[in-house]
């Protein structure tokens, strides 16, 4: 990236901070003065920064992925397994410059394989500025953009040239489902558009000689109770509209969390909320999605990680 291109990205990032219209929520707030739905202002709020061993083997590698977990989110998934981070403002406030210094610490002290920015969709201007500053400080590691895929094309355009690996969740297929479970009417349509844009930027996932991801797109789908048909539709979309060489992780670790299974409130509050999701996913449901993926022509699937958690 030329110095002129970097300067343009910096200018755009600051402009978007004053009129926040990058994420699909289009709040339009001045992030220097107030917050929108994501609850985050001009500084990012970071919950955890550490080498992480809970990602795909090709992402975590042998030394871990340099995870930076952002607080806040532009979705409100009722089943969120990180709701204490994403639905609340927990963590430390950092400027883009301070965030950049942490990237370099992860590189020099943590010896991680990459910088893994988790849930960046609502802080794209700050993340772009932090990456540009980190490069000036000597950052050489690949950048992983770990997203729900609720990204606008404008935000992905700002990240173009700054991101090496897109680690993209594709949660649900139906608009009705996204409205009810993610509190976003347009999630599914937005995800379809954004995943194609990610593929256009970085292509199919490729690796170093020792099997560590260095560039490309990896798509995740969390199998959920009773929604195997939506998972199958996502797999067919990836094969026909993204690439049959798309690297896919069909995840089976769903568990009831956040609002799922909580007692109903108010009058007539018998039973629990989101009862249809209040159980683990079955082996048959996961197998159904995997079969649909293979039938669609997908063939590059993730293997289970050997480690789980952080090294702090």
| Token code pair at residue 255 | 């568990």
Q: Indicate the pTM of the whole model.
A: 0.94
Looking at residue 312, what is its pLDDT?
43
Check: CB of residue 214 under 8 Å from CB of residue 203.
no
List the binding residues for [4Fe-4S] cluster.
73, 77, 80
| Token code pair at residue 145 | 């953009």
Looking at residue 156, what is its pLDDT?
98
SS3 for 29-53 is CCCCCCCCCCCCCCCEEEEEEEEEC
Q: What is the pLDDT of residues 82-129, one digit of tens each?
A: 888 887 778 999 999 999 999 999 999 999 999 999 999 999 999 999
First to last CA, the chain: 33
Looking at residue 257, what is its pLDDT?
87
* Regions of the chain short of the pLDDT cut 70: 267-269, 304-312
Looking at residue 86, what is its pLDDT?
81
Q: What is the pLDDT of residues 48-57, one digit of tens each?
A: 999 999 999 9
List the binding residues.
73, 77, 80
DSSP E strand boundaries for the chain: 44-52, 65-70, 92-94, 115-118, 143-147, 165-169, 206-207, 213-222, 247-251, 300-301
């Amino acid at each position: 990236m030329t110095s002129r291109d970097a300067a343009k990205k910096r200018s755009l990032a600051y402009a978007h901070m004053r009129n926040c219209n990058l994420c699909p929520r289009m709040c339009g707030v001045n992030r220097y003065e107030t917050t929108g739905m994501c609850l985050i202002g001009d500084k990012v709020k970071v919950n955890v920064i550490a080498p992480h061993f809970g990602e795909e083997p090709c992402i975590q590698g042998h030394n871990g992925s340099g995870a930076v977990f952002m607080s806040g989110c532009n979705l409100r998934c009722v089943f969120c397994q990180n709701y204490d981070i994403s639905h609340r403002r927990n963590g430390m406030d950092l400027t883009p410059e301070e965030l950049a210094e942490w990237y370099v610490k992860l590189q020099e002290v943590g010896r991680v394989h990459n910088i893994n920015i988790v849930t960046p969709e609502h802080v794209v201007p700050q993340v772009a500025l932090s990456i540009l500053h980190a490069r000036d400080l000597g950052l050489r590691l690949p950048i992983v953009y770990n997203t729900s895929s609720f990204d606008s094309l404008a935000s992905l355009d700002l990240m173009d040239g700054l991101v090496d690996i897109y680690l993209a969740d594709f949660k649900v297929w139906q608009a009705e489902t996204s409205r009810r479970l993610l509190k976003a009417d347009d999630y599914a349509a937005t995800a379809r558009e954004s995943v194609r844009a990610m593929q256009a930027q970085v292509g199919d996932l490729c690796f170093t000689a020792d099997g560590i991801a260095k560039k490309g797109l990896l798509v995740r789908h969390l199998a959920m109770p009773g929604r195997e048909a939506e998972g199958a539709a996502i797999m067919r979309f990836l094969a026909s509209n993204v690439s049959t060489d798309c690297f896919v992780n069909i995840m089976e670790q769903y568990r009831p969390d956040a609002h799922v299974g909580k007692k109903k409130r108010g009058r007539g509050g018998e039973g629990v909320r989101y009862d249809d999701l209040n159980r683990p996913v079955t082996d048959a449901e996961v197998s159904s999605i995997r079969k649909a993926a293979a039938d669609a022509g997908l063939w590059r699937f993730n293997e289970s990680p050997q480690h789980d958690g952080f090294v702090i």
